[in-house]
Chain A
Amino acid sequence: MSRIRKEGKVEYRFEHPDDFRAFVRDRKSRKTSDKTCTASEAVSRFVADGDYIVYDFSSLTRGPQSLIREVIRQGKKDLWIGAEFTLHESALLTGAGCVTRIDVGFLGYGNYIGQAVCDGRVKVYEWTNGGLALRILAGARGVPFLPTRDLLGSDNISVSAAKVIDDPYTGLPVCLVPALNPDVAFIHVHQADIHGDARIFGTNLFALEAAMASRRVIVSAEEIIEPEEFRKDPMRTTIPYFLVDAVVHAPFGAYPGAMPARYEIDLEHVDRLNAIRNDDQMRIYLDENIYSVADHEEFLDKRVGAAKMKELRRRATIIEGYR
């Protein structure tokens, strides 16, 4: 048995690989079916209090913002999120009282979050970008951990639950990160079909890994296309249908973030989010943009508007590479 040279002692979400395999065998279907539904239905059905949620990409680019706003609207509690980048979504989820723990890659836009951490309202565990992505890869790869030589260079390890052992092949110290199998993955994509096949154009954090490693996967899509289109161009399938539990048609679902080749970031709205410093300001934002509207469509209608959407679409001039 390898001696553990050093380990971080924070809590970590972990599921035995055999338990996850049993879930996939018994509770995920390989059959095609129409999985389209509203964000309200998807979140209501697949997100429970206390769940661990991971998402791809970020609040600024191709993020599942409409799904996250729905989580806040439904008042989910005690969530644990895997936030590769903690941006507006982390601030809003914390401000709304939804999230109590955050596994972090990169802690960004810390004004509101920083205060919440200091106040003890949310716990933050630091895995580094590479470390968190590797945990999800381990969850997808069906192993209890994956080794890395990351995390060895600083004391970051003490605010994670990584363990350092002697590698049995070389004797080198090597860092192990435990597998992560989230309860739910939210992934915003360019195109999906009604079965759940999905395409992302551009880069992603860990879209396929997260879809594979998570118990339930909600895909929100800018566009719904025919299933056969995926089979005509298999190189461009990012996620196959049998990993997915719900498909939400959500044009402008990444708003106020950008959706590459579809619409640009709304920097004015993002600046408003960045300006939130305290709970009063948070409350005003949440009321205006989430609680006072029934769903994403009413939000777009009444808080964003057709003129703004047209302008953001117009600004998305870079199309090449995103087809």
Chain B
Amino acid sequence: MPRTVEFTDTEFMIAQGARLLEDGKSIFVGWGIPQIVAMLAQKLYVPSVVQLFEFGAVGPRSVLPFVRGTMGGPQNTYRSLQWLNMNWAFSYSASGYMDYGMLGALQVDPYGN
């Protein structure tokens, strides 16, 4: 019997985003929806992906349920490999250690602007 699943546009976007990540790579994770994408991807597809949060949480393993509206709290930064600060996070990025960046945008056009 076919199963019908209902989902919102946002949920669709999250699921699609989660499928884009590669295992064994690193990703700079921005505030909000990107956090959920990264969490879903890590649980389903890319268990060894290394996340980085901009204030220096390296390799966080955020716990569920996702605590909305925060980023630096204990749930989001749970069992990180390392806790640093913003200048170090951007050092990791600038010296090439981040393979992907994922940010939420207010508006985007079809070309990625």
Indicate the size class of the contact surface on chain B: 20 to 34
A60 contacts B74, C-beta separation under 8 Å: no
Counting CB contacts under 8 A, is B72 at the interface? yes
Within 8 A of B (CB), among A239-278: 258, 260-261, 265, 267, 270
Residues of A contacting B89 with CB < 8 Å? 130
Q: Which of A4-12, A15-23, A197-205 contacts B (4 or more CB under 8 A)?
A: A197-205
Specify which of A57, A60, A202, A258 lies most central, judged by the most chain B CB atoms within 10 Å of its CB: A202
- DSSP majority for the B interface? loop
Measured between beta carbons, the chain B residues less than 8 angstroms from A108 are 31
The reply on B71 being an interface residue by CB < 8 A is yes
Residues of A within 8 A of B67 (CB): 265
A316–B106 Cα distance when bound, in Å, is 32
Which residues from chain B contact A204 at a C-beta distance below 8 Å? Answer: 55-56, 85-86
**Complex Cα distance A286/B48, Å?**
46
* Interchain CB contact under 8 A, A134 and B90: yes
* Contact status B94-A149, CB under 8 Å: yes
Cβ–Cβ < 8 Å partners of B55 in chain A: 57, 203-205
Among the 9-residue stretches B13-21, B34-42, B76-84, the one with 4 or more Cβ atoms under 8 Å from chain A is B76-84
Residues of chain A within 8 A of B71, CB atoms compared: 60-61
Q: List residues of chain B with CB within 8 A of the CB of A148.
A: 90, 94
Q: A108-B31, A204-B55, A204-B56 are in contact. Are A60 and B86 (CB under 8 A)?
A: no
Q: Is the CB of A206 within 8 A of B74?
A: no
Pick the contact of B72: A60, A209, A318 (CB < 8 A): A60
Q: Determine if B85 and A60 form an interchain contact, defined as CB atoms under 8 angstroms apart.
A: no
Count A interface residues, CB 8 Å: 35
Q: Main secondary structure on chain A at its contact with chain B? A: loop
Q: How far in angstroms is the closest Cβ of chain A from B37?
A: 18
Complex interface: chain B residues within 8 A of A134 (CB):
87, 90
| Cβ contact within 8 Å between A150 and B75 | no
- Give A202 to B79 CA distance when docked, in angstroms: 11
The minimal Cβ–Cβ distance linking A258 to chain B, given in whole angstroms, is 5
Smallest beta-carbon distance A89→chain B, Å: 14
B57 on the A face (CB < 8 A): yes
Quick check: is A207 within 8 A (CB to CB) of the other chain? yes
Q: Is A133 an interface residue (CB 8 A)?
A: yes
Q: Supply 12 A–B pairs (Cβ within 8 Å), ascending by A.
A: A133-B86, A148-B90, A150-B94, A202-B74, A202-B83, A203-B55, A203-B85, A206-B85, A260-B72, A265-B67, A265-B70, A267-B68
